[in-house]
Structure 1
């Protein structure tokens, strides 16, 4: 056999075969692929186990947190519909439930392979919110009342007011206008009365000056009273003759008349000077009174202009859209309404009659001219007195019997004529002053207004006695101690919610109206607020309604029957025992007075005002035929006070009264509390703090320490099966929600939950 020749490149062939031999290529490729797949799937399996761990942990923590919240204060819920943590300690429930969840998962099967084996590393429970927080408390109240508040009933309550909303709106505007006009009217009339008084004083100065006696129309009947201008003029002829005789030398030997001449000259000169002095003093005082009268008249004119502006602005009053919103509310029930179709227009017509109270500017101009004419008349007399003095003294200087005597008599006649003109107009019969007085008294209007005013004040005195009687109830020390405790709870809750006690103080003041007309005006304002509150409930948000309903339904109110003995017998002994805190919790929340009588007085004061507003509206319709707008107002107020007192008695008998003679439905005291809660916004910070304070006082539980939500935090771990090092690398890139420690993966799950 021939041997093969060995190539000199044999070692290259060996290397080529070693590296590029095709035998076993599939095996090597499979090893590479399978090892990669094994690494990938091992990573995927551990990642899936981590995801499962997160899901199981989340479920376990959520279940544990909800188990904690399942233990709530049963007393709070049953009485006030509020959820707050109570019962077993929350930490214990949370840790036990977490352990049970993990053990349950571990104990599913003790045999075979389990994908995730959890181990509890830690568990903590934190409170997330407290029932004493206003945000939390409000949310729970809204949730409670959203399903339990008698919304339909409250809407029906608003619907009962709908038939008379138009008339009440016009009554509110009319009462407000007429009351403002009345105040200005009375001030204006007082100034005008003062003007008339000053006129009469000026006339009295003229009458009492003595000028009339010095210038009589006849010489008889006054001769004994002394010299007069007329008597002196009559004696002047003799005087002139005596002077002529003295000057005539032919009669030098005749009788000596020097003494009688001197006597006449002295008394004539003294009389002229005295007449002039009296006249000047009279005019000086007259001018001062005239100036005062003009100033009073101008003050009256300014008030009259204010009245005119009020009338012009009557249609530009503050928005009263609440009445319109309630008027659009339709009743689903049978509300028997007998409100006249033209009731609103009739009351509007009364308001338009207010223009009759305004006097035209020409009236004041004419009156001023009248005052100036009176002054001119007095000045004319003074002028004549001055002329008389001049003529009289001149006649003594150059006596001429006939001509000068006639001049003096003419001067006296002029004096008498000037005085007579003044006397006729301003003294007797005082035609101008009498006419002005009749004009200012307006016939019998002022007399009737005075009579009605006295009657209204008498009725208001009775009503005020009732309202004042509530504030004068003897307060037991034990009652006040409870209020002091509630006040401390209230202040603590405001502090917890970072609210200022001053900023959240109740704005209402227990100040009663000083007189009947002021009470009517305030009652109209109360009715404005009631309709505004109902309009807000109907058109905007019903949250305030929910809060009000919560107060009325969850807290006791003061029963009006407790007032019966005080109203009928004046006995307050029963009432003094009935004013305990627990009998007036609703009133306390609405008004916020920390004493035993303040809240009751405020509630029943507003009840009285609400009834007075409705009854006064009826009175306007009943009295519209009286003509004069202020007579109508006074008569309406008298009607309103009488009927309101009847209503208050009805409340003490059966707890309700008719809404109106035109709307045949009964409204209870509790219904009015609903309206007052709408008025005063029962959802503000102060009211919420008072709600919480009452609950804390009654339950002994501080809601600021009662959790309404918790946050559970649990740390768990599980063993990694394959490549913990690679999972740790993934964790560094933020791809995991936990951390890898050795061969274990650890994570923390936090879940928050609230009622």
Structure 2
């Protein structure tokens, strides 16, 4: 019984031990699970706080950048409609905005995000002195105002001139359109010839130094050495092979002699005998020549094909441009043919009923106009001219490709030279082919190539002026001299010392801005022609550009339109009444730069009266064009179109001078005797800005005027800010673990101590 009781007690003790062990294991598992849960939740909370912190900091930096730009210079905006940074310091505004976006501290306030801005700075850039920045702001300022101003103030005054010319002088309109098409055609043909010559020079220059000029005789041999061109490459090859084989044989002989010497030396040592035989000498003697040839051939193989291929590619691009220009010339010629054919085939029923009274031109004049319209066909080139020219360009392309192919083939042969023995014939034939192709191309398309010279001659055939036209132009020279007198009087004033100094200051600011922008200096003021006929031609040609500039601007709202309207609306320009008083010797400030800012921007002359003279000179040229069209009616009986234009010159010069005087007296000019519309000085300035405006020089001068007027250097007037702030967030739970996880690169910042730190940036600009 006692043993049985002891056994039961032992069993109960074992069960109790097992139960305690099981209960302990459950407690450990529970603690581990709880710890993991707490760890996970802590991490999730800190991660959520980091994400919220990053979003808040990012918004704060963006807000800071906007706040910096909200402080702009009021003088520059009020005077010129442009925005630049001004007012409070950028760093202070930026820091103030960042701090204002933090959660406020206070009693009882729980800050979920304990954010601290460690540093903050602003970088300002894109100064208004930059032409790109300046133009964007001008376009932004004028994109709504300029179209309205053009429609109300400018386009309405010039509206109807084309229709009036068509209705009142049909023949004059035909001749003018024919002249314009003629100029377009000839300009395009000049472009074709220019591009064709450019294509020739590109490939000829690429061959220079590689393909002998004149071609070298490829007979005989040359000593191997440094390779200069393909003739050296071919003629040095036999000597190179011989010297290389000789050196290889000498190397083998020396190796055999050394081996035998070593054997005899070893035998003498073994026998204990003295050995005094000298060490063998000799070996290769042509290493320098062989190395120079192989190195030169390697360079030639590497550079020759690529250089000539590049030249051929550039020639192909130039010829493609030439074909495009030839198409433009052919299109202009087609238009001329259609205009001439239309003039010959058109009926005159509308005019026939008008008789010879005041309402019509009369039967006699009608016959003169018909004869003149028929003669317009003399200006048209035959269609075969363009087909022949296109075939000529195609032949030039093929010959350039042949030259490039020969260079590529020779390059492959040159690359295989090192260590070879049987390439002599291949090198000679390849060099011969490349020389032949290159010499043919040079002789045909070089600077004085036969094809280009022949083409120049053919272009000159239909451009020869006739003696009658020269006689009429000579008679007009006397009238042209009197016209120049008024224009010279406009440029005679020297101005005061203060005015000259002001222009020097403007020029200094202009040159500094031009150099700072690394821009080219364009000359806007057109030179005054020295002959009446040349002035007439330039005026008639330029009138098309002036009116086209207005038409295109009206249709497409070109950038030049915005710049034109900005210059005229924001800057001063001379008053014709003050100019007249100045010409009459009255005291005044007409030549002050403050009275002619727009003219200075347009022309950029530093003489006090230079810009005014340039403006009136260009107005004179415009009026000369208008009066030339009117004068055609008086000169239509002279016959050919060119003679009519020459005869109209006398009429045009006289009336253009009268127009300038009327502008100075009355402040306005009637657009044409056929179109009753008054034009004023500012209208012409707008037209000239449309034609010449938007250049780097004019942009630089506009900036110079603003800097002189405001005293602000626009190189330091910034329009773009980049803000950067370093912010940190105190972590609540496991900074070390987050730091370890952050090594994966997904946190976007770093952990230092118990704080998470990140960098935030934001950019903003006025335009």
Q: Same fold (TM over 0.5)?
A: yes
Distance 1:720 1:488, change over 3 A: same
Equivalent residue number for residue 571 of structure 1: 584
Which whole-Å CA distance do the structure 1 matches of 2:648 and 2:330 have between them?
A: 20
Residue aligning to 1:276: none
Candidates 642, 660, 666, aligned match of 1:654: 666
Measure, in 2, the Cα distance between the counterparts of 1:650 and 1:138: 36
8 Å contact from structure 2 (residues 560, 690) kept in 1 = yes
How far residue 700 of structure 1 moved from its aligned partner, in angstroms, is: 0.8
Match among 375, 384, 387 for residue 353 of structure 1: 375
Counterpart of 2:119?
A: 122
**Alpha-carbon spacing, 1:750–1:629, altered in 2? closer, same or farther (3 Å):** closer
2:45 corresponds to: 45
One of 613, 620, 623 as aligned partner of 2:635? 623
Q: Whole-Å Cα distance in 2 between the matches of residues 345 and 55 of structure 1?
A: 85
CA distance in 1 between counterparts of 2:581 and 2:67 reads 55
Q: Distance in 2 between matches of 1:450 and 1:319?
A: 30
Please state whether the residue corresponding to 1:466 is helix, strand or coil: helix
Give the Å deviation of 1:344. 13
The one of 607, 614, 626 aligned to 2:619:
607
Residue 138 (structure 2) pairs with residue 141 (structure 1): yes
Distance 2:597 2:367 in 1: 42
Task: Please report how far the alpha carbon of residue 157 of structure 1 lies from its aligned counterpart in structure 2 after TM superposition.
Answer: 3.6
Match of 2:436 in 1: none
Map of 1:643 onto structure 2: 655
Over the residues paired in the alignment, what is the CA RMSD in angstroms?
4.1
CA deviations 1:485-510 (Å, max 9, x no partner) are 111111111222122xxx32315443
**What residue is the counterpart of 1:273 in the other structure?**
none
Per the TM alignment, residue 555 of structure 1 is displaced from its structure 2 partner at its CA by 1.1
Q: In 1, Cα distance between the equivalents of 2:731 and 2:367? A: 88
- Which of 99, 104, 107 is the matching residue for 1:106? 104
Write the distance in 2 (CA, Å) between the matches of 1:74 and 1:613: 45
Report the CA distance shift for 1:490/1:738 in structure 2 as closer, same or farther (over 3 A): same
Distance 2:542 2:549 in 1: 11
Specify whether residues 169 and 152 from structure 1 end up closer, same or farther in structure 2 by C-alpha distance, changes over 3 A only: farther
Query: Separation in 1 of the partners of 2:43 and 2:31?
Result: 18
Q: Distance between the aligned counterparts of 1:82 and 1:708, measured in 2? A: 10
Q: Deviations over 1:389-445 (max 9, x none)?
A: xxxxxxxxxxxxxxxxxxxxxxxxxxxxxxxxxxxxxxxxxxxxxxxxxxxxxxxx9
Mapping for residues 545-560 of structure 1, pairs under 5 Å: 545-560=561-576
Structure number, greater radius of gyration:
1
Structure 1: runs of 5 or more not aligned: 180-312, 324-337, 359-444
Change (3 A) 1:69 1:344: farther
What is the 5 A alignment of 1:473-484? Answer: 473-484=493-504
Of 514, 517, 523 in structure 1, the residue corresponding to residue 530 of structure 2 is 514
Following superposition, the deviation at residue 699 of structure 1 comes to 0.9
Give the TM-score, by structure 1 length: 0.60
Over 3 Å counting, the alpha-carbon distance change for 1:31 and 1:597 in structure 2 is same
For normalisation by structure 2, the TM-score amounts to 0.59
The change in CA–CA distance for 1:314 and 1:63 in structure 2 (over 3 A counts) is closer
Mapped partners of 1:347, 1:135: distance in 2? 52
What secondary structure sits across from 1:149 in the alignment?
Answer: helix
Q: Which one of the candidate residues 506, 518, 521 is aligned to 1:504?
A: 521
Greater alpha carbon shift after TM alignment, 606-615 vs 530-539? 530-539
Secondary structure of the 2:572 match is coil
The counterpart of 2:486, out of the listed 445, 466, 477, is 466
User: For 1:339 and 1:151, how far apart are their aligned partners in 2?
Assistant: 37
Instruction: Specify the alignment match of 2:696 in structure 1.
Output: 685
| Matched residue SS, 1:718 | strand
Pair 177,40 (structure 1): closer, same or farther in 2 beyond 3 Å: closer
Give CA-to-partner distance per residue, 1:701-731, whole Å, 9 cap, x none.
1100111121222222221111111111121
1:524 maps to what in 2?
540
Query: Would you say the 8 A contact 2:473–2:533 is kept in 1?
Result: no
SS of match in other structure, 2:108: coil
Deviation at 1:65, TM superposition (A): 2.4
Indicate if the aligned counterparts of 1:523 and 1:612 stay in contact, CA closer than 8 A.
yes
Residue number in structure 2 paired with 1:741: 752
Q: 1:649 to 1:151 in 2, by over 3 A?
A: same
Paired residue for 1:676? 688
Which SS does the other structure have where 2:101 is aligned? helix
Kindly state the Cα deviation for residue 319 of structure 1 after the two structures are TM-superposed: 9.6
Matched residues in 2 for 1:344 and 1:589: separation?
Answer: 48
When the two structures are aligned, how many residues end up with a matched partner? 506
Mapping for residues 572-591 of structure 1, pairs under 5 Å: 572-574=585-587, 577-591=589-603
Instruction: Indicate how the Cα distance of structure 1 residues 629 and 113 shifts in structure 2: closer, same or farther if over 3 A, else same.
Output: closer
The separation in 2 between residues aligned to 1:145 and 1:485, in whole angstroms, is 28
**574 and 356 in structure 1: CA distance in 2 versus 1, 3 angstrom threshold:** farther
- Distance of 2:331 and 2:55 partners within structure 1: 69
